[in-house]
Amino acid sequence: MPEIRRHLAGDDTLRNLTTEKEAEIRLALSEHRNIEETGARYNNKGASLDYTGTLKGIHTEASHLTSRNGSTHLTAANFTAR
């Protein structure tokens, strides 16, 4: 875990940790990472980037599925007024 290694390099009090204290620090870091990954975004830009990225991933997966089995997938272009 790079964050822990960087922190340990700069703090002499953390160099000789007990296994219990190290496990506690690892658990706290793991919980922090889970919140950052799945928690609410801090602002509208973060939320919109998350939304856009998710939709792009879905579209890419559907496109790859089309090339594998020959089916078509629905996109916004299928519903535009003609």
Q: Pick from 50, 33, 32: which is nearest to 41 by CA?
A: 50
List the domain range (segments joined by +) for residue 48: 2-79
Number of domains in the chain: 1
Cβ-count burial 49-82 (b if 16+ within 10 Å, e if not): eeeeeeeeeeeeeeeeeeeeeeeeeeeeeeeeee
pTM confidence score: 0.42
pLDDT tens for residues 26-64? Answer: 899 888 888 877 777 777 887 888 889 888 988 888 888
